Amino acid sequence: GLELSHCVGTNSLGPGGPWRSGGPCKMKRVRTVFKPEQLERLEQEFLKQQYMVGTERVDLAATLHLTETQVKVWFQNRRIKWRKQSMEQKAAKLSQFGVIQPATADSTDIKDHEEDTVDVEL
């Protein structure tokens, strides 16, 4: 993978790769911007299966002109989004019946995972 040198590179495509400098020692990864066609295909695949592994992921990445890591991270982030949406729908149904759902470990787990999402572009 890429290694980040200490406090070097002020342009986004310098020796450290596609990094942005936000000042001294503040390097941040550039967010991947997917084309609408790529997103449509990724969503189609997600509807079929929520986990894309092995040769299927390699093949999909090649078809979409993405790296395997970009596909892997997209699926990770999409699963988190799906879990969050599922929890919100469940809470909405419960609130229709006047049932108040206390905070559970599951809801805090999702919040923790959201902070761990990563956008990778190689």
* First CA to last CA distance, the chain: 9
3-class DSSP state for residue 27?
Answer: strand
Question: Does the pLDDT value for residue 55 go beyond 90?
Answer: yes
Residue-wise pLDDT for 87-102, tens only, equals 999 999 888 887 765 5
**pTM (two decimals):** 0.60
- Mean pLDDT across 104-116: 50
Exposed, middle or buried, 120 (CB in 10 Å: 0-12/13-18/19+)? middle
Domains in the chain (CATH in brackets) are 36-94 (1.10.10.60)
Residue-wise pLDDT for 78-87, tens only, equals 999 999 999 9
